[in-house]
Copies of this chain bind each other. A is one copy, B any other.
Amino acid sequence: VARSDGTERQGAATIIDVARLSGVSKSTVSNVVHGSAPVAQRTREKVLQAIEELGYRPNALARDLKRRRTATVGVVVGDLANPFFGELTKSIEQRTAEAGYAAIICDIHSAADTDREKVALLREQRVAGILMMYFGGDAMVIEEVRRAAVPIIGVSVLDSRFDCVVTDDAKGAAIAVDHLAELGHQRIAYVPGDATEASTLAARLQGWKRALRRHKLRRGPIVTMNEHSAIKGTIGLETALASDDPPTAYFASNDTTALRLIDRLDEAGVRVPQDVSVVGFDDIWIAGLRRVGLTSVRQPVGELAALGVERLLLRIAQVDVDPDAPATQQKLAPTLIPRTTTGPAG
């Protein structure tokens, strides 16, 4: 970008550069850019041409600083590489983009990355709101957003302290167990996956327990795929298989876990579905492939994203009016998609 003194401008053109080149004032430029006030046709053209010539783009930093609000939202996700969260994040990004918001996405890569730090970062960026697909439960996070009056919405995360849009996980677990019980299974294990968010994990566990009780079935074991996670009350897969009374069905907390479980079962020579049945949760697209054929509980991904973003936008709009409106919880209905990894109890 050449300047009148012949030197190259440092950095990008500013509104002043445009004003100078077109011989008008900053305000007029601002008016043609935003259409906030009527501008004479001839003036507008001159300004537009100057903008074109200089490759001018308004500086969002300056605009937002002045306006005291940004058109940016923060998105916190536990694992983008998990296809379920990949799809959900994509869908969320689409909705926010449509609403004119840029999305700063933060993945929680390890224990070193805490949601608390991510939220602090997002606050510094003055995001208009935050969508959480992962929440560790830290009260400081709640405190931080509350005092700053930054709306926060849990998507596929349930916490009574903020608005949430979730699948009815307990019900999802229940319909999975119903399906298995109808097939005659008596010993149904639960397989929590570490790829699942904590509150979600708990709700599905709860749903599994209740459904077993409802069907008057003994509670099956909680089987973990992760050797080092020696959580009490849990047993490893080998132990489960070697027991006197091994499970004939496994309900996994999500599809990636179900898929890894089936792989281990295949490896161990346990036939699915002849010997044991497996049902997953999420219904990621891979589950639908013939060779996979995973029976799964489908979550309405698109709705989750749409309602989560809608709620966030609502909160953003009302933040000055009623920042302390009570938290709302929306639970969407899941659907069982029976496929070929479940069959009659042997």
Contact = CB atoms under 8 A, between A and B. Distances in A.
A242 interface: no
Contacts of A290: 263, 266-267
A103 B102 contact: no
Given A1-B147, A147-B1, A124 B93 contact: no
Interface in A221-275: 259-260, 262-263, 266-267
A109 B81 contact: no
A243 B12 CA distance: 58
Contacts of A90: 79-81, 107, 109
A149 B11 contact: yes
A40 interface: no
Nearest to A11: B68
A268 to B, nearest CB: 11
Interface string A272-309: 00000000000000100111100000000000000000
A87 B81 contact: yes
A106 B70 CA distance: 17
Nearest to A117: B97
A260 B288 CA distance: 10
Interface stretch (A24-32, A58-66, A156-164, A176-184): A58-66
A105 interface: yes
A121 interface: yes
A57 interface: yes
Contacts of A58: 124
Which of A81, A149, A262, A263 has most chain B Cβ within 10 Å?
A81
Contacts of A59: 65, 124, 126
A120 interface: yes
A21 to B, nearest CB: 15
A148 interface: yes
A89 interface: yes
A30 B51 CA distance: 36
A129 to B, nearest CB: 14
Which of A144, A260, A267, A292 has most chain B Cβ within 10 Å?
A292
Nearest to A59: B126
A79 B68 CA distance: 33
B65 A65 contact: yes
A263 B289 CA distance: 6
Given A1-B147, A260-B289, A267-B290, 4 more contacts: A55-B148, A80-B89, A289-B292, A291-B291
